[in-house]
Amino acid sequence: MGSASDAGPTVDRSGQASGIDRAGQASGIDRAAAYAAEEDADGSTVAGPTVAGRIVLVAGATSAAGLAVVSALARAGAGVIAVGSHVERLRTLRAAVPAAVTYQCDLADFAAVTSLAAVVHAEHGPIDGLIHLVGGWRGGGGLAGQSDEDWDFLHRNVVTTLRNTTRAFNDDLLASPAGRLAIVSSVSVDNPLAGGANYAATKAAAETWTRAVGQGFRKAGAPAAAVVFVVKALDGLETELAGRVVGLWDTDAASVNNTRVFLAPPTP
């Protein structure tokens, strides 16, 4: 799978002055050959998950959750496009998951995201899935401690990056025979605390935006779905999240569109 050619100065090219590092990457994602069918012991063909052959973009891919999701999608036969903001972390991810294509991009900059989308379309075609894992935490200090600086950080990471990526790739998801959008939210939306008001408010905004995207899917009659995964804390749930993401393509879009799915920690 290939990395990008020059998409302008807003898309940083990992390891090069003018382009994303192509080292170890091929020239593009072949949808028809994105996975190889396995054979059972008797020689019969075993069908892969229905995500196999889909092109899935993971935004915020260099976190522990991102690595788990990228790895699971690649193992399931998807063509994976991993996007992050840190060059070295992207190189580490690509070393761990060589099948993934990596791009560095400031997802809070809409011009950069539209440039990224143009490169992705040119080299890989339209995507079938957008998994948004960009986030962060700021909080504490009661209501008085909810600073403008923290609000700006959270709004930029949680809301702005989601708005930008969904606007840039919405047409892809609408046109796909199995478009999927997923985000990770928090139980704090249902039970907000004064010390986490900034965080809860941005997560609530992200959920509202995602539901609006889902309504657009439904109105268009598209076989696409928008799903919100809800956690108390994501630490320890990375594998569970990854499995649920892969499973989004095993379920009829209409049955999961605009649903909230709570991910509980494993029972000790």
Domain of residue 132, residue span: 47-262
Phi, psi values for residue 210, rounded to 5°: -65, -40
Count of domains forming the chain: 1
5: in domain: no
**Beta-carbon count within 10 A of 206 CB:** 28
CATH number at residue 81: 3.40.50.720
144 assigned to some structural domain: yes
Q: What are the Cα distances from residue 132, in Å, to 61, 140, 223, 234?
A: 9, 25, 19, 14
pLDDT per residue of the chain (268 residues) written in tens, 0 to 9 = 443 333 332 343 443 222 333 333 444 665 544 444 333 333 433 344 599 999 999 999 999 999 999 999 999 999 999 999 999 999 999 999 999 999 999 999 999 999 999 999 999 999 999 999 999 888 889 999 999 999 999 999 999 999 999 999 999 999 999 999 999 999 999 999 999 999 999 999 999 999 999 999 999 999 999 999 999 999 999 999 999 999 999 999 999 999 999 998 877 6
Amino acid at 84: G
What are the strands, taking DSSP E only, across 165-214? 180-186
Do the domain assignments include residue 18? no
Predicted TM-score of the model (pTM): 0.86
